[in-house]
Amino acid sequence: MVASRTVTERDRSPARTHAFDTGAAWQNLALQGASQGLVVHGMAGFDYDRAREVARVPAEYDVQAMVAVGMPGDPDALPERLRKRETPSARRPVREFAFEGAFPP
């Protein structure tokens, strides 16, 4: 599980960049895992409240995501319908999400 601390340790003031900082840490985990030949997969489709409860996450943390880390398996061992999904997905062109100045209308 990936969680971010929403208040500072020093004076418990709001940690405004907690999600950004945790996202950067998650990216480093994914890059390190990939460099070691691991599959690192972030997930959002889970019960956030249940995860908080099971892991006993303190109130000053936000649960951000789940992460699966493991060795890649043999795609040929998958059923045909899943094997077809074992190709890189297309990426959106940068022009679709990056812009200069204010948000576009």
* Cα(23)–Cα(84) distance, integer angstroms: 30
pLDDT in tens, 50-78: 999 999 999 999 999 999 999 999 989 99
What confidence score (pLDDT) does residue 30 get?
Answer: 97
What the chain holds in terms of domains, given with CATH numbers, is 2-72 (3.40.109.10)
pLDDT at 36 over 90: yes
Name the more confident of 84 and 27. 27
What confidence score (pLDDT) does residue 104 get?
Answer: 81
pLDDT at 95 over 80: yes
What confidence score (pLDDT) does residue 87 get?
Answer: 84
pLDDT more than 90, % of the chain: 80
What confidence score (pLDDT) does residue 77 get?
Answer: 93
Q: How many CB atoms lie within 10 A of CB 64?
A: 19
* Cα(103)–Cα(49) distance, integer angstroms: 33
